[in-house]
Chain A
Amino acid sequence: MFAYIVRRVLATIPVMAIVALFVFSLLYIAPGDPAAVIAGDQATPADVERIRASLGLDRPFLIRFGEWVWNILNGDMGVSIFTNLPVTTMIKQRIEPTLSLMILTLCLAITIAVPMGVIAAWKQGTWIDRAVMGFAVLGFSVPVFVVGYVLAYIFALELDWLPVQGYTAFSQGFFPWLENLILPSIALGGVYIALIARITRATMLEVLQQDYIRTARAKGAGQTNILFLHALKNAAVPIVTVIGIGIALLIGGAVVTESVFAIPGLGRLTVDAILRRDYPVIQGVVLLFSFIYVLVNLLIDLLYTLFDPRIRY
Chain B
Amino acid sequence: MHRRTLLQGSALALAAPRLAAAQGNARTLRFVPQGNLANIDPVWTTTTLARNHGLMVYDTLFGLGQDFQPKPQMAAAHEVSADGLVHKVTLRPELRFHDGEPVLARDCIASIARWSKRDVLGLRLAALLEEMRPGADDAFEIVLKRPWPGLAWALGKPSANICAIMPERVAKTDPFTQITDFVGSGPFRFRRSQWVPGSLAAYERFAGYVPRDEPADFLAGGKQVHFDRVEWRVMPDPATAAAALQNNEVDWWETPLADLLPLLRRNRDIAIEVVNTAGALGMLRFNHLHPPFDKPGIRRAIQAAIDQKSFMQAALGEDPALWQVPAGAFTPGTPLANDTGLEAMTAPRDPEAAKRALAAAGYRGEKVVILSPTDFPTINALSEVAADTLRRIGMAVDLQSMDWGTLVQRRTKREAPDQGGWNIFCTTWEGLDVSVPGSHQPIRGNGTDGWIGWATSPRREALRDAWFDAPDLAAERRIAGELQALVWEEAPFIPLGLLRPPQAYRRSLTNIVTGGPPLFWNVKRS
Q: Mark A51-84, 1 if CB is under 8 A from B, else 0.
A: 1001000000000000000000000000010111
Across the interface, B239 reaches (CB within 8 A) one of A149, A179, A269, namely: A149
The answer to whether B178 and A259 touch across the interface, beta carbons within 8 angstroms, is: no
Q: How far is the CA of A165 from the CA of B240 in the complex (A)?
A: 7
**A261 contacts B240, C-beta separation under 8 Å:** yes
| B200 lies within 8 A of A264 (CB) | yes
Considering the chains assembled together, what is the distance between the CA atoms of A94 and B198 in angstroms? 10
Instruction: Give the residues in chain A near B195, CB-CB below 8 Å.
Output: 83
Please indicate the chain B residues that have their CB under 8 angstroms from the CB of A179 in the complex: 14, 17-18
Chain B binder among A42-50, A216-224, A235-243: A42-50
Q: Is the CB of A51 within 8 A of B176?
A: yes
Q: CB-nearest residue of chain A relative to B239?
A: A149
Q: Are the C-beta atoms of B240 and A164 separated by less than 8 Å?
A: yes
Q: Is there contact, CB below 8 Å, between B45 and A39?
A: yes
Of the listed stretches B103-111, B405-413, B475-483, chain A binds: B405-413
Partner of B402, one of A31, A163, A168, A276: A31
CB neighbours of A173 from chain B (8 A): 17
Q: Is A44 a contact of B451 with CB atoms below 8 Å? A: yes
Interface string of A76-119 (1 = CB under 8 A from B): 00001011110000100110000000000000000000000000
CB contacts (< 8 Å) of B200 on chain A: these are: 264
User: For the complex, what is the distance from the CA of A153 to the CA of B17, rounded to whole Å?
Assistant: 21
Query: Is the beta-carbon distance between A259 and B246 smaller than 8 angstroms?
Result: no
* Residue of A40, A85, A277 with highest tally of chain B CB at under 10 A: A40
| Secondary structure class of chain A's binding surface, majority of residues | helix
Q: Give the complex CA separation of A157 and B449 in angstroms.
A: 53
Q: How far is the CA of A268 from the CA of B35 in the complex (A)?
A: 13
Do residues A40 and B247 form an inter-chain contact, with CB atoms below 8 A? Answer: no
Of all chain B residues, which has the CB nearest A44? Answer: B451
Q: How far is the CA of A262 from the CA of B178 in the complex (A)?
A: 28
Interface residues on A, range: 35 or more
Query: A276 vs B358: C-alpha distance in the bound complex, in angstroms?
Result: 38
- Cα distance A44–B198 in the bound complex, in angstroms: 26
Q: Is the C-beta of A156 less than 8 angstroms from some C-beta in chain B?
A: yes
Q: Which of B42-97 contact A (CB under 8 A)?
A: 44-48, 50
A40 touches B244 (CB 8 A): no
Pick from A54, A157, A163, A272: contact of B197, CB below 8 A: A272
List the B side residues contacting A164 at CB < 8 Å. Answer: 240, 243-244, 247, 249
Known A157-B247, A164-B249, A275-B404; contact A152-B240, beta-carbon cutoff 8 A: yes
Residue of B nearest to A264 (CB): B199
Bound form: Cα–Cα A46–B446 in Å: 13
Q: How far is the CA of A65 from the CA of B200 in the complex (A)?
A: 32
Q: How far is the CB of A15 from chain B (nearest CB, A)?
A: 28
Q: Which of A37, A165, A175 contacts B243 (CB 8 A)?
A: A165
Which of chain A's residues have a CB closer than 8 A to the CB of B196? 93-94, 264
Q: B interface, how many residues as a size bin?
A: 35 or more
Q: In the complex, which residue of chain B has the Cβ closest to the Cβ of A48?
A: B412
Q: How far, in whole Å, are A298 and B378 apart by their CA atoms in the complex?
A: 47
Q: How far is the CB of B13 from chain A (nearest CB, A)?
A: 5
In the complex, what's the smallest C-beta–C-beta distance from A302 to chain B, in angstroms? 35
Flag if A40 contacts B198 (CB, 8 Å).
no
A37 touches B408 (CB 8 A): yes
Closest B residue, CB atoms, query A156: B247
Cβ-defined contact, B237 with A163, below 8 A: no
- Chain B residue numbers with a CB within 8 Å of A156 are 243, 247
Please, which residue of chain A has its CB at the minimum distance from the CB of B246?
A157
Distance (Å) between the CB of B7 and the closest chain A CB? 12
Inter-chain contact B46/A42, CB cutoff 8 Å: yes
Known contacts A93-B196, A259-B236: A42-B409 contact under CB 8 Å: no
Does A41 touch B at the CB level, under 8 Å?
yes
A176 at the interface (CB under 8 A from B): yes
Chain A min CB distance to B143 (Å):
27
Residues of A within 8 A of B170 (CB): none
* Bound: A85/B196 CA distance, A: 10
Q: Is the CB of B237 within 8 A of A82?
A: no
Q: Which chain B positions have C-beta within 8 A of A34?
A: 405
What residues on A are CB-neighbors of B44 within 8 Å? 38
Residue B25 is within 8 A (CB to CB) of chain A in the complex: no
Asked if B408 and A41 make an inter-chain contact with CB atoms under 8 angstroms apart, the answer reads yes
Closest to B37 in A: A83
Nearest CB of A to B410, in Å:
7
Chain A positions 240 through 263: 1 when the CB is less than 8 Å from some CB of chain B, otherwise 0: 000000000000000000011110
Which residues from A are CB-within-8-Å of B50? 40
A153 to B451, CA, bound (A): 45
Asked whether A31 lies within 8 Å of B449 as measured between CB atoms, the reply is no
Chain A residues within 8 Å of B261, by CB: none
Q: Which residues of B contact A268 (CB under 8 A)?
A: 198-199, 236
Mask: chain A, 262-304; 1 = CB below 8 Å from B; 0 = not: 1010001101101111100000000000000000000000000
Given known pairs A166-B249, A179-B17, the reply for A44 and B452 (CB within 8 Å) is yes
3 residue pairs, one from A and one from B, having the closest CB atoms: A40-B46, A264-B199, A33-B409
- Chain B contact residues, CB within 8 Å of chain A: 13-14, 16-18, 21, 36, 38-40, 44-48, 50, 118, 120, 160, 174, 176-178, 180, 195-200, 233-237, 239-241, 243-244, 246-247, 249, 375, 402-406, 408-410, 412, 414, 427, 429, 433, 441, 448-452
